[in-house]
Amino acid sequence: MFFMNSEEYIDIERSKESVTIRLGGIWSVESLGSIESLYKKVLPEIFDAKKIVLDLKRVESIDTSAMIFFITMRSELKKIADTRVINTPKEFCRMFRMVKRFYTPSYRPKSATFASLLEPILRIGKGAVSIYYDIVLFLSFIGRSAIAVFDTLKRPSSFRIKETAVNIYSTGVTAIPIVALSSFLVGIVIAFQSAVQLQKYGANIFIVDMIGISIPRELAPLITAIIVAGRSGSAYTAQIGVMKITEEIDAMKTMGFEIFRFVVFPRIAAMMIALPLLIFFADIIGIYGGLLVAKMQLDITPA
Amino acid sequence: MKEIIKMRHVRTVFGDKTVHEDVNLTVKEGEIYAILGGSGSGKTTLLREMIMLLRPSGGEIEILGQNLETISQKEAQKLRSQWGVLFQFGALFTSLTVEENVAVWLREYTSLSDATIRQIVRSKLKMVGLDPDVGRLYPSELSGGMVKRSALARALVMDPKLLFLDEPTSGLDPVSAEAFDELITQLRSLLGLTIVMITHDIDTIFNVVDKMAVLGEGRVVAEGSLKQVLKRDHPFIRKFFGGNRAKARIEAMKMEAS
C-alpha cells in the first residue's frame, strides 16, 4: 500500500479528442490522502478536455471512503466534460451501488461575509454576558450556602457529621505532606535570604523576629490557602462533576434533599475546620525550617 | 471460513476473584457473534480483553491472526485501525460536534483535505441512518438512539473488518432497537463485517445473531447457533430463554420449522 508508486493510483493519457484517466491500485482510506493530492495535481491538466474516459480496469479494491471520494470526483469531472466509465470491475460495481444509496453531497461552507468580520465583537459581547451570569450565579451560590448554614444552625441535628469528617480527612489530613514540604522550604528560603542581609549589619538576632513574625502572620496562611484552594478546589469540582453526570445530584433533588445542605455545606464546614489546623501546622514547620538556617548560618540556638 | 477471533484457555483473575476460569471461543469471518451471560459473568471483561483494554491473566487471544500476548506496539496500532468499537453509552467526545467526532480518526491518520473529510463524514452519517445535518450538534443535544448511531458512524469511519458492540440496543425504545438491529444486519451484508456483540436483548438474539457463546461459572457453557444453544441444559440458559417473550419466540420458531 505504502510502498506502491503513487503514480499508479491515477494515470492520464491524452489523445486528440479525449483524455483517458486510468485508476489503479488499492483505493482505501489509508491511500486516499495520496490519491487526493495526485488528483489535485492532475486536474489542471485535463481542464480543457472535451471527453473524459475513466478506466477502472486496474483498481484492485475499494472501500466506502474511497468510493465516496470517487463519486465526488466523477461528478466534478462531469462538469468539465462528458465523462464515461469503462472496465468497471464487479466488486467496484457492487460497492458503487451500495455507497450511492447513502452518498450525500457536501454543503458549501459559507464564505467570509460581512457578518464574519463582526465575529470578534460578537465574541467580546458573549464573553461579557457570560461573565455577568457567572457573577449572578456566584452570588446565588453564596446566598444559598448561607441559607444552608442558618438552616443547620436552627436544627443542629441535621448537620452531616460523617460527610464532614470524610471531607476533613481528604482536604486536611491528606494535604499535610505537601503543606509541610512547601512551608518548610519557604521557611528556609526566607531565613537564608534575610540572614545574608542581617549579617552585614551585625543584626543577627533579628532573624528570630523575621521568621517568627513573617511566617505565622503572612507566609504560612498564604501558602496553605493556595495549596488547599488548588488541591481541594479541583477535587471538589471533580467530585461534584461526577455526581452530576451520574445523576446523583438529581436523585437527591427528587428525594427532597437540599443539595446545599447535603453536598455544599459539609465541604465548606470541613474546610473551615481543616484550614486553620493546617495553617497552624504550616507555622510550626515553617518556623522549624527558619530555625535550622539560623542555627547553621548565624549560630543562633533556640535555647 | 477464516477464523477472526480465537480465544484459548483465557483466564482472568481480579485480586482473589476469578472472573474467567477457562474461556474458549472462535469467531469466524462474516459472523454476527453474541456473548451472553448473567450479570457478573464477565462479558464486558471478555470484550475489553479482545480490544486490548485489558490483559488476561492467562491463555491466548488471537485476533485477525495476531496473538495479543506477543503483539508489538506497531502491530497493535495497525490492528486497532482494523476494528471499530461501539461502547455501551456511545463514548462520543463531548467537546466535539458529531461531525468532528466521526472525523477525528480521519484527521489524525490521513492527510485528506477538509472538503473530502466532510464529504465522507456526511455520507457515513447518512449510512447509519442519521440526517447529515445532525453533524453540527454536540453529543449532549442528541437522543439516546442518535448517540448510538453517531458512535456507530465513528466506529465505521475507517472501514473496519471487525466491529465490537457493547449492548448496542440497551437504553433504546423497542422501535429504535429494532431499527438498530436491522441496520446492523444491513451493514454486515453491505460491508462484509464480522460483528461481536454483548447483548441481553431477546429480539436481537432471535433476529440478528448467527452464533453465540453463553458464559457461566467462568467458562463458555454453550457455543453455537440459537438452536444448538437452546438444546443445552444450563440454569442460565433455562432462565434466560424461559421468560414469556423468549418462549413465544421459540414457539414461533418451532412452528416455522414444522
Domain edges within chain B: 1-78+201-258
Residues B220 and B214: beta-carbon distance below 8 Å: yes
- Rounded to whole angstroms, the Cα distance separating B197 from B199 reads 6
Give the Cβ contact number of residue B165 at 10 Å: 26
Residues A13 and A19: beta-carbon distance below 8 Å: yes
- Among chain A, residues having any CB pair with chain B shorter than 8 Å are 28-30, 32-34, 36-37, 63-65, 68-69, 72, 98-99, 102-106
Percent helix, strand and coil across chain A, each to the nearest 5: 75, 10, 15
Reported pTM: 0.75
Residues ≥6 apart with Cβ < 8 Å to A33: B110, B111, B112
Say whether A30 and B110 touch across the interface (CB within 8 A): yes
Report how far apart, in Å, the C-alpha atoms of A26 and of each of A30, A63, B74 are. 9, 9, 22
Q: A223 vs chain B: nearest CA distance in angstroms? A: 34
In chain B, residues with a C-beta closer than 8 Å to the C-beta of A65 are: 106, 120, 157-159
Residues B184 and B32: beta-carbon distance below 8 Å: yes
> In the block, which residue shows the cell 460581512?
A114
Residues B150 and B134: beta-carbon distance below 8 Å: yes
In chain A, residues with a C-beta closer than 8 Å to the C-beta of B122 are: 104, 106
Of A68, A98, A105, the CB nearest to B120: A68
Region A272-295: what's the mean pLDDT?
Answer: 94
CATH placement of domain B1-78+201-258: 3.40.50.300
Per-residue pLDDT of B183-239, as tens digits, reads 888 888 878 889 999 988 888 888 888 898 988 888 888 888 888 888 888 888 888
> In the block, which residue shows the cell 471478555?
B46
What pLDDT was estimated at residue A303? 67
In chain B, residues with a C-beta closer than 8 Å to the C-beta of A29 are: 106, 110, 157-159
3-state secondary structure of B169: coil
Residues ≥6 apart with Cβ < 8 Å to A124: none
Q: Which residues on neighbouring strands pair with residue A62, listed in sequence order? A: A27
Report how far apart, in Å, the C-alpha atoms of B158 and of each of B63, B125, B163, B201 are. 18, 13, 11, 28
C-alpha cell at A215: 511566617
Per-residue pLDDT of A150-190, as tens digits, reads 888 898 888 888 989 999 999 999 999 999 999 999 999 99
Q: In what order do the strands lie in the sheet with A19-27?
A: A10-14, A19-27, A51-62, A82-86
Region A232-242: what's the mean pLDDT?
Answer: 93
Q: B60 vs chain A: nearest CA distance in angstroms? A: 30
Indicate if the pLDDT at residue A43 is higher than 90. Answer: no
Query: Which range, A51-55, B9-13, B254-258, has the best average confidence (pLDDT)?
Result: B9-13
- C-alpha A82, offset from chain centre: 51
Report how far apart, in Å, the C-alpha atoms of A115 and of each of A121, A123, A130, B137 are. 10, 12, 21, 22
